[in-house]
Structure 1
Amino acid sequence: MTRRRSSARFFDPTGARYGIPTWPWRMAPPHLRTRRQLAAEGLRPGGQDIAGQVLWHSHRYNAPGGVRAAYLYDIRLALPKRIPSRRQRAALAKALQARRICPDCGTDAGYVLSRRLGVCLDCAERMELAA
């Protein structure tokens, strides 16, 4: 039989133990959201400080002590996401397109080139065979 660790040690709504208000997984107040939850609602933190955190046990990504954290922001202070202008989107598309062009053969690889290789996979394979 496996033992479940108690999440009661993560319950610190005053912030006395962890420095900021802390709750266990799925126990945060309803007006607090993570960045991803804000983004899903079309919002952003808007420069506000972290209002709290959620802590939970995890062995994923070798988290220190097996504990992971998600920072929370107050939805009442959140601002709408900024919408890029048409020119900003065009500049971004141009920059992304440049990352797809192989500097050796000059073709569009159809994917963003690896920074480690610096060239498309065909050119990298050609150079490997030549060496």
Structure 2
Amino acid sequence: MSAARFWDPDGTTYGIPTYPLHMAPDGLATRRQLRARGLRPGGQEVAAQLMWRHARGIAVAYLYRLDLAKPVRPMTLGRWRAHEAMMRPRRTCTACRRDVGYVVRTSTGLCEPCDPTLATA
């Protein structure tokens, strides 16, 4: 299959403008590319998509317009508190009930000292 299969700039085949990988026009960016520029989609609709062959089939990445993107919201003190509260249970060992300072394994819920599978001889 060639890249021409995914060339559909008017959206007749796929419903929205579609481009092969690395062939999107200027002014469009993926979420990751927006974030790297300090931007977010800001509620706008998907403007286009990239499609390419992948080992597991066909992969898709959605594109957003740069001119409609908004700046990333800054982290406020309240947001930091909420994030800390959300992460606290993930850092707490279910056996010793200590906040170990890192995210414990979800398979066991135990910190390294309490996990018998991680014990060294």
Task: Give the TM-score taking structure 2 as reference length.
Answer: 0.85
Distance 1:54 1:7 in 2: 11
Counterpart pick for 1:30 among 23, 26, 47: 26
Q: 3-state SS of the aligned residue for 2:60? A: strand
- Answer 1 or 2: which has greater helix percent: 1
How many residue pairs get aligned? The number is 117
1:73 has 2:69 as partner? no
Q: Which runs of 5 or more structure 1 residues have no equivalent in the other structure? A: 127-131
Counterpart mapping for 1:1-131 below 5 A: 5-59=1-55, 62=56, 66-125=57-116
Coordinate RMSD, CA, aligned: 1.7
Distance 1:7 1:110 in 2: 47
Q: 1:117 offset after TM fit, Å?
A: 1.5
Alignment match, 1:129:
none
Identity of aligned pairs, percent? 46
Distance 1:100 1:22 in 2: 42
Q: Which runs of 5 or more structure 2 residues have no equivalent in the other structure? A: none
| Stretches of 4+ aligned residues off by more than 4 angstroms | none
Distance 2:5 2:114 in 1: 55
Task: Give the TM-score taking structure 1 as reference length.
Answer: 0.80
